[in-house]
Each structure stands twice: as structure tokens, then as C-alpha cells.
Chains A and B, each alone.
Chain A
Amino acid sequence: MPQLIERLSSSEEARRWNVTSLLLTLPLLVMGWYYYGGAALRLAVIGVLTAALCEIIFGRLILRTHTLLDLNAIVVGLWVALMLPADLSPWFAVLGTAFAILVVKIPFGGTLHSPFVPAAAGFAFLTVCFPEPVFTYAPPTAWVPVHSSALTALLQTGQSIFRPTVISSILLGETVGPLGTGCILAIAAAAAAMVILKPRRAGMLSTLGFVLAVAGISLLFPRVPGNRLGAMGMELCAGSLLFAAVYLLPDPATLPRGLLAKFLYGLMAGGLCMLLRRLGSYQDNTCFAILLANGALPLLRRGWNEKENWMNPIKTKMKTKSKKSN
């Protein structure tokens, strides 16, 4: 009887992943601090501390060990805080982060075992429980925003502000919105860094699929009449969409194996996101789309003869080796 069957991922790999994620998230926090002042830092610190405490206390209670040192809890706390309005009461960050760690992460086995992205689940929980405060954004303190309403609210009402004169402002994040997800340039730079980094490169296929799906659907079925490119731009820059596509979607615990599978997974998530944006009642449904994609993944695998597809690259390698040896 074989003695041991284990997953390929190790705690060391998880730690490296989370350190990279943390480093790539810090620019967004810096921009958030620049735009919104000390309130942004306070929210982030409280989110991180809550996540760390929940991980230590309840990790020991439930899992008999905690995995704080792999920094996943820190990353989850930071990501939840970045998706919230800067002037929101810190209790919301506490609640959302605690939900992410206690309900979505720890009960399923901790880092790299959860079938759902914890940060997305935490934000979704806050959205369902407190939709008004979560989508009431404060104007930034550093400058005057392009519009007094968030892009997500403008899309819901069919208004377009995407003109050549304001594109640079939108890309720099000079819009009313969440704490750390507005600076599109910083998110794009992080995505580029992930493409360069070999371990993260494959995960960017899911991001690519997601962005292509959102862009395609917004071009074909714009919510802002008369301006397809503007609608596409607004959809991509609105809310936490790009942030979720770059940081949340390529979560290694939920990402399928196989390059084509990753791309199709991103396509599916993007399609769900656009569907929920059209039919949903909340301003931003990106996290719900990611959670739905996470939930649908095992079903897709079973219906798709996933064993053959996932194993194809390795079978080819085996055949090549055995042919060479013969």
C-alpha cells in the first residue's frame, strides 16, 4: 500500500506566493493612503490585525495549528480592507475579515485548501449584510474626483464619463471608489510583474480570460448607450473588477490546472461578472462572480473528463521519455 499521497503544494510555496502578493499589493495601499489619508491606513491595519488574531486563535482551536507565518491571513485582511470605502467604520473590516478567515478559510483546512477565495467571500458577506455602507464612497481628500459618483453607480444609471480628457485621471484612480482598487495603473503594473514572475505567470491566463470576457460583453452589450469603447473602459475601471481579476481570481487553491483550463475559468468568471452586473441589485458583483466560478469549477471538471485533460501534458512527457528510452 502506498504510504503517502500528498498535494504538490507545500507551505514554503504558499509563503512565497503570499509574500509576492503582499509586495504587489503594497503600492495600492500607498496610493490609497495618498488619496484618502490616515483613514485608509487605519482600515488596512485593522483588517490585517483581525485576520492575524482570527488565524492564531481559531486556527489553534479548529486546525490544532495556525499558519500565520505563511502570511495568507495578512494578505486576506489587506485585500478585504482595500475593497471597502476608506471612511467606513473599522467594524466592517473586522466583520468581513473575520468571516473570510473563520468561515471560508479555516474550516476548509487553511491556506491552499479553501474551495473559495476568502477575501472575495468576506467582501460578499459585507455586501449582502450591509449594502448601503459598503457602496457609499467618500470623496478623496487629495484632489477633486472626476465625478461625485462612483463609476459603478454611473454604469447602473447609464451615464458615461469616459472621455479622452479624463482617461488619465481614471487610470490614476482619481475617481470615487473603494480604498485601494481605483488606481488602474498600479494594478496593471502588478499584473505585468506577475506575468514576469514565473510562478505567477500561468495564473495570469485566468486574468486575461476574465478581462477579455468583460471587455467583449461590454462592447457587445454596453450599459452606457452610444459609446461602446467608453462603456468598455468604464466597466473595466469600475469598482473592484480589475483588482479582483489580478489578485483574487488567480488564487492557487481555486485555480484549475492546465493552461486552457485557466483561461476558460477566467472567461467563465468574467461572463458571470457581467451577467451579475446587468441583473444584480448591488453596484459591484465581481466577488459574487468569483465565488460562483469557484463553486462551479468542480462540476466543470467532472463533466469535462478532467483527468485526461489535466494529465495530458504529463502523459506526453511520459510517452516521450519512454520512446526515447526504447
Chain B
Amino acid sequence: MAKTKAWQEQEFPETDEQPRRHWLWQALTDNPLLVQAAGICPIAVAAATIRGGLLVAIITAAQLLLCELLTSLLLKKLPGWLRAAGYFAIGLGVICGAFWFSEALSKWTGTDSQAVRTVGVFLPLLAANSAVALRCEHRARQLPPGEALRDAAAAAAGYGFVAILIGTVRELLGWGSFWGRPFTEVQVRGIWMPFGGLLLLGALAALLKQVFLRLEEKGRLTGAAAAMEFQIEDWEVRRQRDLDLLDNGEAPSADPHEGTFLLLDNGMFPEDPAQMQMTQPLPLFLKSWDADGKPLASGFAVPAPKPAPQTKAPPKKEPPKAELPKKEKAPSAGPKMVRTAPVRPEPVKPLVSKQAPRPETLPEPAPAETEQPRVTQETVEIKISELMRLLAEQEEQEMNDPK
């Protein structure tokens, strides 16, 4: 799917602004795992028991605190590639410290460290934790040392909470034990596998998003749900993406699995037909339906051979305009979920029908009086003749310019 520049820029913003919240609340709204979708691999693989989750949480917390503080003080002055090496070096130092501490503790207690054995080879891999690098790049670089420490504490708390929670659930359901002690006979083998960890992460992220959405409905929170990286695109998101592409004068995808044949209901065309000048020709599938949503006719748009004379439209009463939700720049970029209500347009004659012959002249535009729409949504006035003329020009260009 073609992406606009604006879309690409949104994926990797240079700055990452966040409203200031209490650091514990920020542990949820700015959670590295559930919101930013970073550092998933160690959780999916290593946090299969409570001990494993606790170990991952402690090591990641140490990495976050050290890395963000040093980034805020020193590393931000270095070039990007050297900063990344710095994060890795700090991570290695933390891991080596963890191993040394584990061995010392084992000698002192006389027992093997079960947590280290459980995590296994993924403990050294924690040195390259993407959650730490992402946090430092997007936050610590722009924050003073005190704020960077505060942010690190919030991230560590959020990460650790999720790691321990997932480790607990996986040990209970997968092994039937709690802290190594048998608890139940039920053992679902797949839960302690990596895919079980990923499933639990997804379920937790969905649950958190539902909480955010409910709080946003009550007005107690703004932007938290939209900031989440875990998004399941549905056709509404694809639609919005295609509308964004139209705004930038690019052709939306015409593959229904990607979201769109461009359907125009009841002759509602863009206010500025120049938006329809695509970089590549797009066959327009026109469909019209009545106020109850029943389809009237459909067919591919065929440009008229001659531009039709402009008919004087009867005086129209401007329907109430409802604004689409404003596109806020998300702190962590990603596809945005836009919830728009379905349209209930007024009935008009279909423009093109599969069965009906192509009309010589364009049909009359929509009647002036419109009933109050059931739901509030933006409505625009149309210029059918200009659109058909543009389509004809496009077709001519395409035929004259063989690829």
C-alpha cells in the first residue's frame, strides 16, 4: 500500500511529546510493552515463570534507569550510531552484574539460581533491549536528568508489572505451579511457549485499550488509546488512510483486502475535484443507496464523451457539517483508529448503473431539502460535471501514454 510522506513521518517522530501525568499513571499510559509494543521478545520467551518475569523486570529496570540518566547527561551529545553502542554497552554491564550477583547469591545460599536457569540464553540477549533504546531515543534525549529518571522509573514500573503478571499467569496455567511449588494439576502446555506469551500480551494490551477508551469517554483521559501501537486495522482505519491519501493527491489502494474500492454515496463527491487527480488512474466504482441503506445501483464510472453543461442547481439548504475527528499527532505513531458513524444520505438518482444505459446528460443533482441525518458527519457539495470532465481527461492521458 502506498504511503504518504506524512504517514511515514508519523511512524518515527523526532519528538515524542507526552502530557505530564503522575509517574505511576504514566507506567500504564506510557507502558513500553502494552502501549509502545517494545521489548516484547524477552517477555514472550523469558517471562515463562514468576522468577523469570521478576528477573527480566529487575534487569530491565536497572538498564532503563542507567541508560536514561546517562543519555540525558552525556549520550545525547553523541551521534546516533554511537548512542546505540552506548545503550548496548550499558546493557552488557548490567547483565554481567546480574550474573555476578546470581553466582554470589548461589554460593551464599548454597542453591542454584533457578531464575537464571529458567531464562537461559535470553538473559544475555536482554543487553540489547529495544524497550530501553526506544525510550532513550524518544524521551531521555529531550528531557533533563531528573525528568529522565522519572520517566525511567515509570517505564520500569510498567514493564516490570507486565513481566511479573505474565510470568505468574504462565506459570500457573502452563506449569500448574506458583513460585516453583505445585499449585494445580491443570497444565496447558502452549501457555509457557512463546506464542502463549504473545497471546497474553495481546490480551493485556486489548484490555488496557478498553480501559483507556472507557476513561476517554468519561473525559478523564485523552489520547492514550490512540497512542497505542497495538492496533488491529479494520476497514474503518483503512478508509481513513485512504482519505488521507486522497488529501495528498495520491491514489488509495483499490484492493478490497487493503480497504477500498472508492465508493461514493449518492453523488457526494469531494468538494475540490482536483483531489481526484490521482498519480495513477483509479477506476471508480460508484454506488448509490437510499436513506435506509439499501443499494440502488452500482457500476464503474465511465467518463462522458462530452463535458455536460452545468445545470443550475436549485438553492440548497446547507446541511449541518460535522467535523471529522481531528488528527492529533500521536506521540507514538501508528495507524489511528477512527470511529465514524455510518452515513444515512438522502436518496438521489444513481449516476451509473450496470443495467441502465449510460445517460447522455448528467442527472440532476441532489434535491435541496435534506432530512436531518441520523448521525452527524461531514457533508460536502459536489460538482459532478467537473469530476466527470477530470475522469475523461485521465482516461485520455492513460490511453495516450502507454506504459
Contacts from A to B (Cβ < 8 Å): 1-9, 103, 107-109, 113, 125, 128-131, 256-257, 301-302, 306-307, 310-311, 314-315, 317-319, 321-323, 325-326
B259-297 contacts to A (CB < 8 Å):
259-266, 268-271, 275, 281, 283
Question: B257 near A257 (CB under 8 angstroms)?
Answer: yes
Give me the interface of B with A, judged by CB distance under 8 Å.
1-2, 188-191, 193, 195, 199, 202, 206, 232, 234-235, 238-239, 242-243, 246, 252-257, 259-266, 268-271, 275, 281, 283, 300, 302-303, 305, 324, 342-343, 345, 358, 377-380, 395, 398-399
Chain A residues, CB < 8 A from B377? 3
Interfacial chain B residues near A314, Cβ < 8 Å: 254, 283, 300
Chain B nearest CB, measured from A117 CB (Å): 15
Chain B residue at minimum C-beta to C-beta distance from A321: B302
Report the minimum CB–CB distance from A256 to chain B (whole Å).
Answer: 7
Select A107's contact among B1, B191, B206, B261, beta carbons within 8 Å.
B206
Quick check: A5 and B242 within 8 Å, CB to CB?
A: yes
Number of A-B contacts (CB under 8 A): 116
24 A-B residue contacts at CB 8 Å?
A1-B246, A4-B342, A6-B235, A7-B235, A8-B261, A107-B202, A108-B234, A113-B234, A128-B189, A129-B189, A131-B189, A256-B257, A302-B1, A306-B255, A307-B254, A310-B254, A311-B283, A314-B300, A317-B283, A318-B281, A318-B395, A319-B398, A321-B300, A322-B303
Hey, which chain A residues are within 8 Å of B345, CB to CB? 3
Closest beta carbon of chain B to A313's beta carbon, Å = 11
Q: Are A257 and B256 in contact (CB under 8 A)?
A: yes
* A5 and B262 contact, Cβ closer than 8 Å, known pairs A109-B232, A128-B193, A129-B189: yes
Residues of A within 8 A of B261 (CB): 5, 8
- B358, closest chain A residue (CB): A325
List of A residues within 8 angstroms of B265 by Cβ: 3-4
18 other contacts beyond A6-B239, A103-B199, with CB at 8 A cut-off? A3-B343, A3-B377, A4-B265, A5-B235, A5-B259, A5-B261, A5-B262, A107-B202, A107-B232, A109-B234, A129-B188, A129-B191, A307-B253, A311-B255, A318-B302, A321-B300, A322-B395, A325-B303
Chain B residues within 8 Å of A311, by CB? 254-255, 283
| A253 smallest CB distance to B (angstroms) | 9
CB–CB A326/B263 < 8 A: no
B257 to chain A, nearest CB (A): 7
Tell me the smallest distance from the CB of B190 to a CB of chain A, in Å: 4
> What 4 A-B pairs have minimum CB-CB distances, sorted nearest first?
A129-B190, A5-B239, A128-B190, A5-B260
Q: Which residue of B lies closest to A322 (CB)?
A: B395
Q: Which residue of B lies closest to A255 (CB)?
A: B257
Q: Is the CB of B283 within 8 A of A318?
A: yes
- A325 B302 Cβ-Cβ under 8 A: yes
Q: How far is A107 from B201 in the complex, measured between Cα atoms in Å?
A: 14
CB of B380, distance to nearest CB on chain A (Å): 6
Residues of B within 8 A of A326 (CB): 305
**Alpha-carbon separation in the docked complex, A107 to B209 (Å):** 13
| Distance, CA A326 to CA B400, complexed state (A) | 13
- Scoring A113, A256, A306, A311 by chain B CB atoms within 10 A of each residue's CB, the highest score goes to A311
Q: Which residues from B are CB-within-8-Å of A310?
A: 254-255
Q: Identify the closest chain A residue to B392 (Cβ).
A: A322
A319→B263 contact, CB < 8 A: no
Cα distance A325–B343 in the bound complex, in angstroms: 33
Q: Would you give the shortest CB distance from B276 to chain A, in whole angstroms?
A: 9
